Amino acid sequence: MKKRKLKINYLKFGLFIIALFLAYIIFYERNLSSVHKFVSSIGYFGTFFAGMLYTYGFTSPPATAIILLLAEEQNIFLASLIGGFGALLSDLLIFKTINYSFKEEIRYLLKGKKHLNFLPKYFFTILGALIIASPLPDELGISLMVFDKKLLKKNFFLIPYILNTIGIFIILLIGKSI
């Protein structure tokens, strides 16, 4: 008798939908005093933690909702710097994971990059930077930026910090205006 494996199709997509739903509840139901009190009570640490969550695909929607809530009570300039630092720490973890785990695959892709010569020189770097600045998953943006080895060695720490700080600042501005 063969055992049947439980195969779940679209698990990641389902988890992402749950994350979007959670973000919707956090942001839409602002009158949920317990959620709002907790988010407010953690202050700038909450901004730092939300910044860390802001970079990952599954946690970006709730992190964005938390940042929007925190915008009401925090200095948005300081909060964006703190949130950007939290996002940088997560990006460094992503970078180390990609660089270590996918080193051979990246080397292979870079060797076969000749078929991508029709693209502008910094196409992957610019596309990766745009993804990092947005609430989209930084995993994808960092993976694209890995193609530019010179950039990563010299400026990797600075670029994600600036881009995430700008993205978080824009979210905080939106939160202030709502």
Per-residue pLDDT of the chain (178 residues; tens, 9 = 90+): 555 555 566 666 677 678 777 777 766 655 556 766 777 788 899 899 999 988 887 788 888 888 888 888 899 999 999 999 999 999 888 888 877 776 666 666 666 666 666 677 778 788 888 888 887 778 888 877 876 766 666 667 888 899 899 999 999 999 888 7
C-alpha closest to that of 87 among 130, 138, 13: 138
For residues 15 and 13, what is the distance between their CA atoms, to the nearest angstrom?
5
User: For the chain, what is the domain count?
Assistant: 1
Q: Which domain holds residue 169?
A: 11-177
Residue 17 within a domain:
yes
State the Cα–Cα distance between residues 66 and 46, nearest whole angstrom: 8
The structure's pTM equals 0.75
Task: Tell me, yes or no, whether 139 lies in a domain.
Answer: yes
* Domain-embedded: residue 4: no
Question: Helix 158-177 vs helix 123-133: angle between axes, to the nearest 10 degrees?
Answer: 40
